[in-house]
Structure 1
Amino acid sequence: MLDQHCRVQYVNRRAESLCASSGPCRMVCGCWQFTQADVQDRLEQLVRNVCAPGRSTAVGGGFRMPLGEGPPMLVSVLPLKANHPLASPRSVPLALVFIVASQSASFAASHVIADQLGLTATEARLAASLAAGNTVLDFAALQRCTPHTARSHLKNLMRKTGCRRQFEVVRLVQSLQAG
């Protein structure tokens, strides 16, 4: 979990291991940093967006982080509102940052997602798109629909799956692939 300045509020052991001497990340003065400047700029932009004070409808995003020789990693940034139990002691909005090796992130085909979760084809494509690290706006552009229409699909997707956060949708899709 990061605050709007990329200061680490919580980090798990796996994330700490990414900060090894040859890893793609590091912690400097309590702040999370990627070793590649363009990747760091993208992270900071997404974190600022989801942590903007007074913003009631922050939408997360994601991107692929190239690692040179190996496969890229997927970085997803999702909002954690100030009233969420994990954030409430801090009383500020936080960003949840997930970093997944793309080799472990091969996601179920959208027709399988639709079948297993009782979704429409469009809702399943949106779920797969979110799990692949895209934003709702990216999905709207890919599907050539308005952002409002994409958000309507997201509302229906979340209602049908019982998910309350986009991250939960991502985890659900990942569990379908793993299971």
Structure 2
Amino acid sequence: MNLQEHLITSTLLAVSLYPRQPLAAALVIAGGVLVDLDHLALYISRTGDWSISGALHYNRYRHRFPQPGDSRPRYGSLRSRLHHPLIVLPPLWALAQRLPWVRPLAAGVTLHLLLDHIALPFVWNIYLRAGGRCVRCGSRRKVSVYLRPDDQHQQWQWTVLCQRCAYHTKPLRSRQSVKASVRD
């Protein structure tokens, strides 16, 4: 999810949980949005660029296919350990049991991680249907599930690609060819 979606959903949760407590509502919103500062920290550590606009620009182009003459680097995922629910949520909620003011913050972080991981069952289904192999070259090395456009319908679809095929190929041929290669 993007920053705007996290802000909207966190605000809705904050208003519904704490309608008359503005400080608690602000903590829910902060927890739901500020977890993504790890993306900025990883971007800075990988590029050396401290500009927020540079990070936002990178986030817009990193999933697109390289165009002719495009030599911009792609650094892969910008997710740190802060986006692993099993690492973050148990200690955070344990702390929230001792410190009541941490509860709204924990609620915001929980919502953020839930929204970031809600598509995982669907992603695993796509991965398993492809047999853990890249649908283009058949490789099992560093495959991931990507949302990519096809070139005929200009529609976005989920597909399993290795890192080499994900960043160095043109859009998918068509929906039928992807479905056929996933079944094989």
**What TM-score results when the alignment is normalised by the length of structure 2?**
0.32
More helix by share: 2
More strand by share: 1
**Relative CO higher for 1 or 2, CA cutoff 8 Å, sep ≥ 6?**
2
Larger radius of gyration: 2
**What TM-score results when the alignment is normalised by the length of structure 1?**
0.33
